[in-house]
Each structure stands twice: as C-alpha cells, then as structure tokens.
Amino acid sequence: MLAPMVLARPETAWRNAAICTAGSVIGGMLGYTIGFSLEPVAHWILTLTGHPNAEVPIQAAFAKYGVTVILLGLVPVVPYKLITITTGLAHFSLWQFVLASCLTRSTRFFGVTALVKRFGPGLLPVIERRLALVAGGLALAIVAALIVLKLTSHH
C-alpha cells in the first residue's frame, strides 16, 4: 500500500513512511498488551490465525536470543502480529519491544519508500517478488551486527 502512495504523491513519501511506522508500532503495542494482559484472548487469536502454541518456541527464542527475535519481524515469513502477541505472552521487556519495533518497522517502511523513490514504478514487481529475500538479508545483517557487538563488548 505504501509503494503506490509514494508513486502517487512523492512529496509526502517520507511523512507517509513515518505514519506507517508509527501506526505499526502502536498496533504492535496493542498486540503486546493483548499477549501480556489478556492471555486467554491471545491464545484464542493465535489459534484462530493458525498458530496455536506459537508462544512456546518464541518464548524459548526470547530466552536465548532476546531482542534479536523481535528484529526478525523484518522477515515477512514471521508475521509481525505473531511476534507482538507472543512477545507480550513471554512478558518480554516493553521498552525493548518498542525500541526493536521502531527499528524494524522504520527500516521496512523507510526502506520501501527510499527504493520506490529512487528506482520508480519498475521496481515494484521486483520488491514484491524479492521482499522476503531482501528483508531476510537485512535481518541477518542486523542480527550479525548485534552478535558482533555482543561478542566484542565482553573483551
């Protein structure tokens, strides 16, 4: 939805990316709140969306990798809604969740905006076909950078 808006009104592209980011993070906070405060509702939503017991592996991943799991929200194959609800179920730190969400969602929306502004409408089919690959590569780069920072900070 953002890409056509960028093409239609390039002068408002960055504002629209910011609005998308803010809306997504606020929606993420709602998902987090559902998981944190309304556990039965959270389980019902996860079951309804075909992800029953999804919190079990995600909680294990949170315990092992922490905030890096939220950064995987950049990868389209891991639905952000699933991450938000299970983050709340795992009682993960709210401020870390919000910071990681701001990073992942702004990267996604501002990245699409920059690509569409730079390369125009011809890029849209490429983005649609390769979004998972590009987002996955970006997520891996962020995870690798976090690992390197963590390893080097102990020495």
Section 105-115 average pLDDT: 87
Query: If pLDDT is split at 50, 70 and 90, which confidence band does 146 have?
Result: low
Q: Report how far residue 77's alpha carbon sits from residue 58's, in angstroms, rounded to the nearest whole number.
A: 14
Count of CB atoms within 10 A of residue 44's CB? 13
Section 37-55 average pLDDT: 86
- Domain holding 96, by residue range, is 2-153
Please tell me the predicted confidence (pLDDT) of residue 149.
65
| Count of the separate structural domains present in the chain | 1
Please tell me the predicted confidence (pLDDT) of residue 50.
82
- Percent helix, strand, coil in the chain, to 5, is 85, 0, 15
Q: What angle do CA 132, 137, 142 make, to 5 degrees?
A: 125
- Model pLDDT for residues 55-94, shown as the tens digit of each residue: 777 777 777 777 776 666 555 556 788 888 988 988 888 9
Please tell me the predicted confidence (pLDDT) of residue 134.
65
Q: Report how far residue 92's alpha carbon sits from residue 36's, in angstroms, rounded to the nearest whole number.
A: 9
